[in-house]
Amino acid sequence: MILPIVQTGNPVLRRVGRELTAEEIKSPAIQRLIESMRDTMRAAPGVGLAAPQIGESIQLAVIEDRAEYIQDASPEQLNERHRSVIEFHVIVNPKITLLDEGSAAFFEGCLSVEGYQAVVRRAYRVHVDCLNERAEPITIDAEGWYARILQHEIDHLNGKLYIDRMESRTFTTNENFVKYQ
């Protein structure tokens, strides 16, 4: 089921989401929510979707960077962003550590700030401890674009949006991004 995506200004986007118990994660309700979030993310289309973006103030996000999203990017762009296909997965109750190996600044958008983009500087490498959709502990060590996606989605779970971190003079509409970048 495709769910409506809430837009900036909705207070749910500014709350810290509640952690889920293992029992909650395994429940039919959360399993259905994960499926609906996956379908909603793909329909948007997006590379990540956090529960607050569909009005649920809980520590749950889905992530996937599909081959079709990067097929038109040049090898130089893919290399510069260190971007590749990321299989669908779920992160629950994530704890992120930014690793001290530099940062990268790129344009970023958000399904909850529809129609706009801005440059955001993010850590190049991150370490994430979380639970998966079966409530099993997992560790993710990511770099490049994947690290950026994780930081963006975990920000949502902590009541932050990319506009809180953006270089404000770069804020632009998607139309002007295509026209002038």
Catalytic-residue membership of 153 = yes
> Could you tell me the domains of the chain?
11-180 (3.90.45.10)
Q: Please state which of the ranges 60-64, 97-101, 153-157 shows the lowest mean pLDDT.
A: 97-101
> Which residue in 93, 85, 91, 105 sits closest to 140, CA to CA?
91
The one catalytic residue in 56, 64, 133, 153 is 153
Under 8 Å CB-to-CB from 43, ≥6 apart: which residues? 2
In the predicted structure, residue 133 carries a pLDDT above the cut 90: yes
Q: What is the pLDDT of residues 4-59, one digit of tens each?
A: 999 999 999 999 999 999 999 999 999 999 999 999 999 999 999 999 999 999 99
